[in-house]
Amino acid sequence: MVKKTEGTEIKIDSTIEINWDIMINDLMPSNIPLEYHIVATNEDTTADYTGYISVDHSSIIQKRSIEQPDYSIFKYSLVLFDFDSPTLTAQNRNIIDKFIVPNINFASTIDIYGYTDRIGNRQYNEKLSHQRAMAVSDYIKTKNRNVKINVYGMGNEEEIFDNDLPVGRQLSRTVQIFVITPKKQ
């Protein structure tokens, strides 16, 4: 849950506007799309409605840095694939060039985890997720031939977004990229 408001009273034939300030760290990928639930009650009737608000949330803020004593890990979840496709689009190549490649140095190791939505059988999804991770690996190697890359096809075993929603299935067609760099001693 991102925000909650309750107990607001309004007069009949009037409308109410509720404004929420959602700060960047309040909104995580698991909160997208935003779900709202409204219950309105009067003396004789209760109306109950749930809906979703699409949110376009693309930002370098999605990169997460994890500092360890001996190394730094940068996690990226920026690359999305079309349904049933391992093809890396020009837009995805641009994202990799702009945000990921500059953070790779000679000592870095890259772990790439491919994912799918839950549509299709398990074996097919494992293969497709591996192909997606390999497509990213192959592209990164065109920019840095000597980098060590580990590739994992996760299939749909781990749902990183809610697959009951169409947008959750779309966001699950992704790879997560971890750039692990030792700290200088």
Residue ranges covered by each domain of the chain: 1-57, 60-182
Q: How far apart are alpha carbons 139 and 151 in whole angstroms?
A: 13
Interval 98-140: pLDDT, tens: 888 988 988 899 999 999 999 989 999 999 999 999 999 999 9
Q: Enter the pTM of the model.
A: 0.64
φ, ψ of residue 103 in degrees (nearest 5): -95, 10
Burial 40-56, CB ≥16 within 10 A → b, else e = eeeeeeeeeeeeeeeee
Superfamily of domain 60-182 in the CATH hierarchy:
OmpA-like domain (3.30.1330.60)
With beta carbons less than 8 A apart as the criterion, state whether 98 and 128 touch: no
Interval 140-154: pLDDT, tens: 999 988 899 999 999
Q: How far apart are alpha carbons 172 and 16 in whole angstroms?
A: 35
Q: Which residues of 10-68 form beta strands (DSSP E)? A: 34-41, 46-53, 64-67
- Region 37-57: what's the mean pLDDT? 74
